[in-house]
Amino acid sequence: MKSRITAAGLAEIDDKLQARERLSLEDGVRLFASPDLLAVGWLANRSREERHGARTYFNYNLRLEPTNVCTASCLFCSFARLKPTDAAAYTMSLEQAWDKLRQRAHQPLTELHVVNGLNPDLPFSYYTELLRGFKRIRPDIHLKCFTAVEIAFFADLYGMSDEQVLRELIDAGLDSLPGGGAEIFAERVRRKICHDKCGADRYLDIHRLAHRLGLKTNVTMLYGHIETMEERVDHMLRARALQDETGGFQAFIPLAFHPDNNQMRKLPAPSASDTLKVHAVSRLMCDNIPHIKAFWIATGVDVAQASLWFGVDDLDGTVQEEKIYHMAGSPTPEGLTTAQLTRLVRAAGREPLERDTFYNIVAIPQAV
């Protein structure tokens, strides 16, 4: 492999990795520029195996999006509806949202992942009651709810500080924050694709604050639209810098842009090789974030499976009821069973493990 790494122009990067030196912005850009996908993947896989061996994680989770009414006008979004009167706009009552969990009483769920549009017509008590109700129905379930963008929106709308919002939500049962809303941190891109929601600094400040208050969080990166390779690597480096400070990120999650039914529909979707490369480079750049997650709904199931040799050690979970990607044209199933996840990990020659949100092992799946 050494000669292939050298031929790919990656010998210096390989030396740095072996000497445990950190990769720079230029190194990241060089990895993206390399035409040798397998060489980049090999480096990422080595880092993955150093940390996790063949272990590959997923969880038994449920996705819920109680409202898609949203004041923000992100160009890439196919889910949000600006006006509550729009035919496809919806807001669940608390009972309807709680019913979604009640209906899954037979499933051994360990996590509920909740995200919403930025709905200006709901009181703050909607969200605190939502969480309290979920915990009443299933006291053991982990509530991973509300992106940093939602936290910022709540603070501005209800006249609270970001810290007050987080403290009240924690009091109501919030256990961690998902990574959504990060998009691309670079100002040039944000101005174009998501100008009217919380900026990169506030996103990172809210994660910093959440970590200080004892919450774990994830961080995402929406790729494959108008961003440059430098901007991708800059994004990874900003996540890495915060992780140096707090250690509170559990997973870095690249999210492949889906172009259907949104204002950027003229753009092509990212290719499979770009997706594999983004995950591989994420593993190499974000050297202090333990898990690199392929969200199979975004990558597609087959590419997520292949990514297990390109730096990825986590496949999110069963998901179920996802709307954001399916409204943007994702052809993936609504959910996967733990048996299906187990089979696809094993078929890739990796070791499947069912985890909880904190990566404690819940079950070692038997051969199926």
Residues at the contact surface with ligand V47, assessed by CB under 6 A:
76-78, 178-181, 183, 218, 220, 222, 253, 255, 257-258, 262, 295, 316, 324, 328
Identify which of residues 43 and 276 has a Cβ nearer to ligand V47 in the complex: 276
What is the nearest approach in angstroms of ligand V47 to the Cβ of residue 190?
12
Least distance (Å) from ligand V47 to the CB of residue 292? 12
* Radius of gyration of the chain, Cα coordinates, nearest whole angstrom: 20
| CB closer to ligand V47 out of 127 and 249 | 249
Pairing of strands 351-355, 361-363: antiparallel
Fill in the DSSP letter of residue 94.
Answer: H
CB of 140 to ligand V47, least distance (A): 19
Q: Which is nearer to ligand V47, 41 or 179 (CB)?
A: 179
Residue at shortest CB range from ligand V47: 180
Q: Which is nearer to ligand V47, 127 or 257 (CB)?
A: 257
Q: How far is the CB of 169 from ligand V47 (least distance, A)?
A: 16
CA-based torsion, 233, 236, 240, 246: positive or negative: positive
Contact between 332 and 297 (Cβ < 8 Å):
yes
Give which of 258, 261, 280, 262 is closest to 270, Cα–Cα.
258
- Which of residues 38 and 75 has its CB atom nearest to ligand V47 in the complex? 75
Task: At 190, list the tokens.
Answer: 């944000």
Nearer to ligand V47 by C-beta: 159 or 268?
Answer: 268
Shortest distance in whole angstroms from residue 183 CB to ligand V47: 5
Residues 181-216 as b/e (b if ≥16 CB within 10 A, e otherwise) read: bbbbbbeebbeebbeebbbbebbbbbbbbbbeeebb
Q: Is 121 helix (H, G, I), strand (E, B) or coil?
A: coil
Rounded to whole angstroms, what are the CA distances from 316 to 64, 254, 279, 356? 15, 12, 14, 10
Tokens, residue 334:
């609504």
Closest CA to 312 of 273, 284, 347, 338: 284
State the minimum distance, in angstroms, from the CB of residue 55 to ligand V47.
Answer: 18
Minimum Å distance from CB 42 to ligand V47? 26
* Residues 312/279, Cβ–Cβ less than 8 Å: yes
Comparison of 17 and 315: residue with beta carbon closer to ligand V47:
315
Given a contact cutoff of 8 angstroms between Cβ atoms, the answer to whether 304 and 314 are in contact is no
Min separation Cβ 8 and ligand V47, Å: 29
Q: Which CB, 169 or 222, lies closer to ligand V47?
A: 222
